[in-house]
């Protein structure tokens, strides 16, 4: 049952990603990407990462895609325009390179985890049961990953200042 739903949402994600990269209109691209992001959120739920799924909808499908659509509207790119997809030669090169990449990634996707590093089955579920869905992510975030967390806050501050400086006409 879980596997069936996993493949339904997985195929939805792949199809909408394909439509996203092939639509001519940037607004259509953005909206198909939103569909992909929602399907990925469903996959996260099926993979026992409910909190990450909520974040995916809030941050990606909410904030980041609104930013994209806002810029598209601001630049008035929704009007009919000549296509930006490259000609036959560019398409062929892209298809060959993407095919090679997929061939190489296929090997990775068939990998199995060695038993030496794999946790006993049910360990993660037990942690989530014990500490709650949010606690299971938050406890390592403020404990083992505290320094990266602080660095991320500096990164976001730099991004805010950088975006204001770049987008302002005159400081």
Partner 1 sequence: MLLSPALAISAVLFTLGVAGVLFRRNVIVIFMCVELMLNAVNLTFVALAQGLGVGGQVFVFFVMAVAAAEAAVGLAIILAVYRHKQSVSLQNMNLLKDG
Positions 62 through 101 that interact with partner 1 (CB under 8 A): 63-64, 67-68, 71-72, 74-75, 77, 84-86, 90-91, 93-95, 97-98, 101
Return the structure tokens found at 152.
């991320």
The site map against partner 1 for 121-150 (x = CB under 8 A) is --xx--xx-------xx--xx--xx--x--
Among 78, 118, 126, 129, binds partner 1 (CB under 8 A): 118
* Minimum CB distance to partner 1, residue 80 (Å): 14
Name residues whose C-beta falls within 8 Å of residue 48's C-beta, 6 or more positions apart in sequence. 124, 125, 128
CA nearest neighbour of 123 among 110, 139, 114, 136: 136
Q: Are 48 and 75 in contact (CB under 8 A)?
A: no
Q: Sort 51 into a burial class: Cβ within 10 Å, 0-12 / 13-18 / 19+.
A: middle
Among 105, 129, 132, 150, binds partner 1 (CB under 8 A): 105
Binding status of residue 109 toward partner 1 by CB under 8 A: yes
Size of the site for partner 1 (CB under 8 A): 85
The C-alpha atoms of residue 43 and residue 17 are separated, in whole angstroms, by 15
Angle between helices 26-46 and 65-74 (to 10 degrees): 180
Question: Which parts of 15-44 interact with partner 1 (CB under 8 A)?
Answer: 17-18, 20-21, 26, 29-30, 33, 36-37, 40, 43-44
Binding status of residue 8 toward partner 1 by CB under 8 A: no
* Minimum CB distance to partner 1, residue 138 (Å): 9
């Amino acid at each position: 049952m879980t596997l069936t739903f996993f493949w339904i949402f997985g195929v939805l994600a792949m199809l909408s990603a394909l439509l996203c990269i092939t639509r001519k209109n940037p607004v259509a691209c953005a909206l198909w990407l939103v569909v992909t992001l929602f399907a990925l959120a469903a996959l996260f739920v099926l993979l026992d990462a409910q909190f990450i799924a909520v974040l995916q909808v809030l941050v990606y499908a909410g904030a980041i895609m609104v930013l994209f659509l806002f810029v598209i509207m601001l630049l008035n790119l929704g009007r009919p325009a000549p296509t930006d997809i490259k000609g036959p030669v560019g398409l062929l090169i892209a298809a060959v390179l993407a095919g090679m990449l997929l061939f190489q990634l296929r090997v990775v996707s068939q990998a199995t985890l060695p038993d030496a590093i794999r946790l006993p089955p049910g360990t993660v579920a037990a942690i989530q049961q014990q500490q709650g869905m949010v606690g299971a992510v938050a406890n390592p975030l403020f404990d083992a990953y505290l320094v990266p967390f602080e660095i991320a806050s500096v990164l976001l501050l730099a991004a805010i200042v950088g975006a204001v400086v770049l987008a302002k006409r005159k400081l």
